[in-house]
Amino acid sequence: SCYYVNFLYTNWTDDRPRFTVNMTFSNSNGIESITTINEEIKSPVTRMLILQQRNKEKKNIVYNATTRLCDMHSIMNAVPLFKPVKDGILKQSNYSFSCPLNKGVYTMSNMRISPRNPLLSILHQSKGIFVVRGALLEELPNSELHPTIHL
């Protein structure tokens, strides 16, 4: 079966002194992002939360993880449902899963989710809405995350 994703147009920017992340979701352009790293981030950490809601029901947590960026590559390779997403990101961008994350501009544009992606068939619910939240953080020597962020 094929399932198509319709994005509600969303654009947000997280502007910090050391980095800026700008993400856009839209039906016409898919997923786009520009990440500007102004100074090397020694231990970058990603945080992602995916919520699912149908009608006015309580939101379900589908995915909630905080992971060092350099571990993300192996995690996505280990989970067959996530591997096509990772491959698509790397093919359609200059993104890096490296630690440290070097100074530079990382871009991704027109990232699409294939209607044949097996993850969509598992998650599909008629008229269901998904909320995706994320963050780029830095792990400090005392294991704290900076900036502190609550999703």
Which tokens is 9 given?
Answer: 């147009």
pLDDT tens, position by position, 135-151: 888 888 877 776 644 44
Amino acid (one-letter) located at 37: I
Mean pLDDT of 8-35: 80
pLDDT tens, position by position, 71-99: 988 888 887 777 777 787 788 788 888 89
Task: Give the Cα-Cα-Cα angle 147, 148, 151 (nearest 5 degrees).
Answer: 115
Q: Which uninterrupted H or E stretch holds 113?
A: none
**Domain definitions of the chain by residue range:** 10-44+68-123
CB 119 within 8 A of CB 82: yes
